[in-house]
Amino acid sequence: MASFGKFRWISRRFTAHPSAPLRICVVGSGPGGFYTAEKILKAHEKVEVDVIDRLPTPFGLVRSGVAPDHPETKIVTNQFSRVAQNERCSFFGNVCLGSSVTLPELREMYNAVVLAYGAESDRCLGIPGEELAGIYAAREFVWWYNGHPDCRNLDPDLKSTDTAVIFGQGNVALDVARILLRPTAELARTDIASHALAALEESSIRKVYLVGRRGPVQAACTAKELREVLGIKDLHIHIQPADLVTTPADEIEMKNNRIRKRVYELLSKAVTPAHAPYPGERELHFVFFHKPDKFLESNDRSGHLGGVQLEKTILKAFVGDDELVKQVAVGTGVYAEISCGLSLKSIGYKSIAIDGLPFDSDKGIVPNVGGRVLADASKDHMQYDTGLYVCGWLKRGPTGIIGTNLYCAEETLACISDDVDKGILTSNSPKPGRDGLLQLLDSRNTRVVTFDAWEKIDTEEKRRGNLKNRPREKLTTWEELLKVASE
Amino acid sequence: MFFSRFYRMGAHTIKSLVQAPTLTPRTSYLPVVHNQYLQVLRHELFSSTTAKLESEDGNEEKEKINVTFVEKDGEETHIKVPVGMSMLEAAHENDIDLEGACEGSLACSTCHVIVMDVDQYNKLPDPTDEENDMLDLAFGLTETSRLGCQIIAKPELDGLRLAIPAATRNFAVDGFKPKPH
């Protein structure tokens, strides 16, 4: 048995209800996965839920996405831990769908499978020069500073340039801008990965540009994140006053959307800084109405980013399907350049398809209706893939906050409950569920990390953090994570 | 450090909260103080709460108000809430299904409640910018929406009725469209 936190599960076999319980597997242990698990357990007294994750650590983007200086946002892991400790729930980390176990195998072993593995890839700009060194997806940069083991060695060069250009003006863009600009003494009190803290302490980046195709009314961030970045110590904010002039279409957009209105108001107030810039002060430039045209190679360093060329845009308004005013940016043929040695693309995450799963590559989601996976979306009649569900970003696309998953999970649960009531998920012979899964993983020498084993990682991270007056010091390599889990 | 102390105490605190049958002033339940602005705000909130509770410690019975929660299925639960306690805490002590992802630290909008009576809504102190930032993201926002963690029981609020918004089946792909507030 290669399982860590051994045999905790075995005792449960004998307490099973005489009529075999339904067994459901949730793939992915982020907010989408854990909220779904929680809701299934609450709604169905006899159902057993196993949550698997490809990482040895649970909680998905709460661990590797939420910024280190947002500890309050991570408090939700307390709730997810209580779910994992429910006697009808198990967590199995270091189990990768596709390589450790295939989707058909999971569906054979469980009455239902809920896919909630999120979005682990990125949209690309598709412009010349995108392959130059010094250009990263914001996701990679976020994973790097959050200690995700897959980006441990990203090693972005923060020392050869004083300027970073970020494409996108959503909350992820604001997060990465804040991490680049915030005094490192403040970051040193967070759970930011130690390698990232060290690199940021030596960073020469003084200027960050946040580039958006559209205007301040359309900026995709929320007021909270904006307020925070505007409040960074010793930071000079640059916004062109002319960009804040609104059109009637802008006014309609703001009237229809409270967030847009409040974000615009915050930006308007920030246009006149409290003081004149002083030498050495860091700068944050909001660049509106510009779209990326191409990345420019450095003259000094071959193959490395030297700048970006932007095209000025104007907005064209139209009325969308939902009868709301929408405005799209169109190019004007007027170009501008910004010299920079680092660029982060924060233009959206993208889910990854797996074998045997219907996938809509345009939208980057699994085709579904309310969380029920559609076997074939192209046909006129909708046919569901029985017993297969989705939740979270894989279902909706990569937008929304942690709480959005609550409602998303509720909707997916409604589909599952419906199918349970109809008897669709009941099998003639009991499904092997977690016993079957663990046997299979054992036969493949997969070293399963149980929740107990994760708690060893958790304890060790907190212990190391405590020594440095930090909430935790994350373990950031696969080797270390698996080693501590098996101690 | 506040940060690390909170982290170490977190889980323990929550357990003790769940088990504790009566209200005691709980310093550790205070949200993680993160920005200066909030620090001032919370300090005030907390100080006044403490003062009230301490002054009442001599009394046999703490002053309580009647609150009704209308849950997602329309079922009404009537509870008594000690003055000074937040509606989030009160809901959890009474097994009412109100989410509280950030445990009252003003970092999420999951404890969103709708104050059913406008007059009572008007008796509440105005939401701070920080609460409004979170309400921006609340599902099914209304003109009398508040965060449960920010409504603190006081005598004038006796008879308060709070609805927990239900998620609808036609969940939009892009989340939701908040109404103008």
ipTM, two decimals, is 0.89
Those residues whose C-beta lies under 8 Å from the C-beta of residue A14, and which sit 6 or more positions away, are none
pLDDT band at A273 (very low <50, low <70, confident <90, very high): low
pLDDT tens-digit series, residues A11-41: 344 433 446 789 999 999 999 999 999 999 9
- Indicate whether A100 belongs to any domain: yes
For residue B49, name the pLDDT band (cuts at 50, 70, 90): very low
What percentage of chain A has pLDDT greater than the value 90?
87
B116 touches chain A (CB under 8 A): no
Residues A104 and A59 in one domain: yes
* A348: CB partners within 8 A, 6+ apart: A122, A123, A168, A398
Amino acid at residue number B47: S
Three-state SS at B145:
strand
Structure letter (DSSP) for residue B141: -
Whether A236 and A282 have beta carbons less than 8 Å apart is answered as: yes
Whether A214 contacts A315, CB under 8 Å: yes
Can you count the helices (H) and strands (E) in chain B?
5, 5
Residues A113 and A128 in one domain: no
Question: Is the domain of A343 the same as that of A199?
Answer: yes
pLDDT on residue B36: 40
The sign of the dihedral angle between the CA atoms of A150, A54, A372, B176 is negative
B174 touches chain A (CB under 8 A): yes
Residue A57 in domain: yes
B55 interfacial to chain A (CB closer than 8 Å): no
pLDDT of A127 reads: 97
Q: How close does chain A come to B27, measured CA to CA in Å?
A: 16
A99 phi, psi to nearest 5 deg: -110, -45
Does pLDDT of B4 surpass 60? no
What pLDDT score was predicted for residue A277? 76
Least confident of A389-393, B83-87, B177-181: B177-181
**Dihedral of alpha carbons A297, A298, A302, A303, sign:** negative
Chain A nearest C-alpha distance from B32 (Å): 6
Same domain, A366 and A305: no
Do A395 and A331 fall within a single domain? no
Residue with tokens 């939208």: A363
CB neighbourhood size of A70 (10 A) = 20
Taking contacts as CB-CB distances below 8 angstroms, the residues of chain B near A76 are 101-102, 108
The CA distance from A156 to A205, in Å, is 12
Residue B16 reports pLDDT greater than 80? no
Question: Beta strand pairing status for B112-115 and B145-147?
Answer: antiparallel
pLDDT bucket at A168, cuts 50 / 70 / 90: very high
Check the annotation: does A144 bind a ligand: no
Q: Give the CATH number of the domain where residue A417 resides.
A: 3.40.50.720
Residue A481 domain-assigned (yes or no): no
A484: helix, coil or strand?
A: helix
Domain extent at residue A38: 4-120+353-446
pLDDT at A206 over 90: yes
Say how many residues make up chain A.
487
Answer whether B71 touches A (CB < 8 Å).
no
Q: How far is A371 from A393, CA to CA, in rounded Å?
A: 11
Q: pLDDT (tens digit, 9 = 90+) per residue, B114-162?
A: 999 999 999 999 999 999 999 999 988 999 999 999 999 999 999 999 9
Tokens of A342: 């680092």
The verdict on A189 and A102 lying in the same domain is: no
Q: Which of A105-119, A126-140, A311-325, A430-444 has the lowest mean pLDDT?
A: A311-325
Give the Cα separation of A54 and B57 in Å (integer): 52
Choose, out of A34, A36, A78, A463, the residue to mutate when testing the contact with B (most B CBs < 10 Å): A78
Would you call A223 and B139 a contact, using CB atoms and an 8 Å cutoff?
Answer: no
Average per-residue pLDDT for chain B: 72
Residue A7 pLDDT class (50, 70, 90 cuts): very low
Transcribe A442-454 into DSSP letters: HHTT---EEHHHH
Look at residue A486 in the predicted model and tell me its pLDDT.
95
Q: Taking 80 as the threshold, does the pLDDT of residue A1 lie above it?
A: no
Residue A380: per-residue pLDDT: 67
How far apart CA A283 and CA A189 sit, in angstroms, is 23
Which pLDDT value is given to residue B131? 97
Q: Tell me which residue in B4, B32, B129 faces A465 most closely, judged by beta carbons.
A: B4
pLDDT of res. A379: 61
**C-beta separation of A51 from A84 below 8 A:** yes
Is residue A345 in a domain?
A: yes
B1·A404 Cβ contact <8 A = no
Contact A236, A284 (CB under 8 A): yes
Check CB contact of B136 with chain A, cutoff 8 Å.
Answer: yes
Query: At B135, phi and psi to the nearest 5?
Result: -60, -30
pLDDT on residue A398: 94
SS3 per residue for A19-42: CCCCEEEEECCCHHHHHHHHHHHH
Mutation site, B112, B128, B137, B149, interface A, largest A CB count within 10 A: B137
A147 lies in the same domain as A294? yes
Q: What is the mean pLDDT of residues B84-109?
A: 96
CA dist list (Å): A448 to A96, A460, A475, A487, B135: 10, 18, 17, 13, 40
* The model's pTM: 0.86
A245: CATH = 3.50.50.60
Q: Is residue A472 part of a domain?
A: no
Reduce the secondary structure of A165-178 to three states and give it as a string. EEECCCHHHHHHHH
> Is there a single domain that holds both residue A82 and residue A64?
yes
Using the Cβ of B73 and the Cβ atoms of chain A, whether some distance falls under 8 Å is answered with no
Please report the pLDDT score of residue A356 as a whole number.
84
Q: Which residues of B touch A401 (CB under 8 A)?
A: 108-109, 137
Q: Tell me the average pLDDT across A401-405.
A: 93
Domain extent listing, chain B: 64-163
- Range with the poorest average pLDDT among A53-57, A321-325, B121-125, B147-151: A321-325
pLDDT at B72: 84
* A141 closest CA partner among A164, A169, A162: A164
Q: Does residue A346 contact residue A167 with C-beta atoms inside 8 Å?
A: yes
Helix (H) or strand (E) holding A375: strand A372-376
Residue B72 backbone class (left: φ over 0; alpha: ψ -120 to 50; beta: rest): alpha
Residue B20 has pLDDT above 60, yes or no: no
User: Amino acid identity, residue A323?
Assistant: E
B143 touches chain A (CB under 8 A): no
* Type of residue found at A127: I
Mean pLDDT of A366-379: 86
CB A40 within 8 A of CB A24: yes
In total, the C-beta contacts within 8 angstroms joining chain A to chain B are 127
B47 close to A (CB below 8 A): no
Q: State the architecture of B64-163 in CATH terms.
A: Roll (3.10)
Question: Which of A316, A349, A382 is a domain's end point?
Answer: A349
Helices (H), B21-128: 36-56, 87-93, 118-123
pLDDT for the residue A412: 97
Band (pLDDT 50/70/90 cuts) for residue B52 is very low
Structure confidence at residue B38 (pLDDT): 41
How does pLDDT run across A75-123, given as a tens digit for each residue? 999 999 999 999 999 999 999 999 999 999 999 999 999 999 999 999 9
Of A349, A367, A389, the position where a domain reaches its end is A349
pLDDT classification of B61: cutoffs 50, 70, 90: low
Contact A78 B181 (CB under 8 A): no
Q: Are A104 and A132 found together in one domain?
A: no
Confidence of residue A157 (pLDDT cuts 50, 70, 90): very high
Other beta carbons within 10 angstroms of residue A72's beta carbon come to: 21
Percentage with pLDDT > 70 across chain A:
95
Find the range with the poorest average confidence among A131-140, A318-327, A367-376, A458-467.
A318-327
Please answer whether residues A336 and A290 qualify as being in contact, where contact means their C-beta atoms are separated by less than 8 angstroms: yes
**Pair A252, A142 in one domain:** yes
Distance between CA atoms of B71 and B80, rounded to whole angstroms? 16
For A78, which of B14, B129, B169 is closest by C-beta distance? B14
More confident call, B122 vs A278? B122
Give the model's pLDDT for residue A445: 96
Per residue in A224-241, pLDDT tens?
A: 999 999 999 999 999 999
Residues A153 and A294 in one domain: yes
CA B56 to each of CA B24, B35, B63, B85: distance values in angstroms, whole numbers, following the listed order: 11, 31, 8, 13
Domain annotation covers residue A29? yes
Per the CB < 8 Å rule, is A470 touching B4? yes
Overall average pLDDT of the B5-17 stretch:
36
* A460 labelled binding-site residue: no
Phi and psi torsions of A369, nearest 5°: -120, 110
Q: Do B180 and A408 touch (CB under 8 A)?
A: no
**A189·B103 Cβ contact <8 A:** no
Residue A359: predicted pLDDT? 93
Co-location of A111 and A127 in the same domain: no
| Residues of chain B with C-beta less than 8 angstroms from the C-beta of A400 | 175
Tell me the H-state helices in A48-132.
Answer: 60-64, 76-84, 103-109
Q: SS3 for B151?
A: coil
Chain A residues with beta carbon closer than 8 angstroms to that of B8 = 462, 466
Cα dihedral: B35, A200, A347, B168 (round 10): -30
Give pLDDT tens digits for A335-369: 999 999 999 999 999 999 998 899 998 889 999 99
Residues of A with Cβ-Cβ distance to B11 under 8 angstroms: 78, 81
Beta-carbon separation of B6 and A471 below 8 A: yes
* A410 occurs within a structural domain: yes
Q: What is the dihedral of CA B35, B41, B44, B45, to 10 degrees?
A: -110
> Which positions in chain A touch B35 (Cβ < 8 Å)?
228, 231
CA atoms lying within 13 Å on the CB side of residue A463: 7
Q: Is A171 annotated as a binding residue?
A: yes
Q: Average pLDDT of chain A?
A: 93
Q: What is the pLDDT of residues A183-195, one digit of tens each?
A: 999 999 999 999 9
Contacts of B6 in chain A (CB under 8 A): 71, 471
Residues in chain B with CB shorter than 8 Å from the CB of A228 are 35
Q: Which of A163, A234, A155, A161 is nearest to A199 (CA)?
A: A155
Q: Which of A318, A349, A380 is the last residue of a domain?
A: A349
Q: Please tell me whether A213 is known to bind a ligand.
A: yes
Cβ within 8 Å, pair B102-A222? no
CB of B1 within 8 Å of any CB in chain A? yes
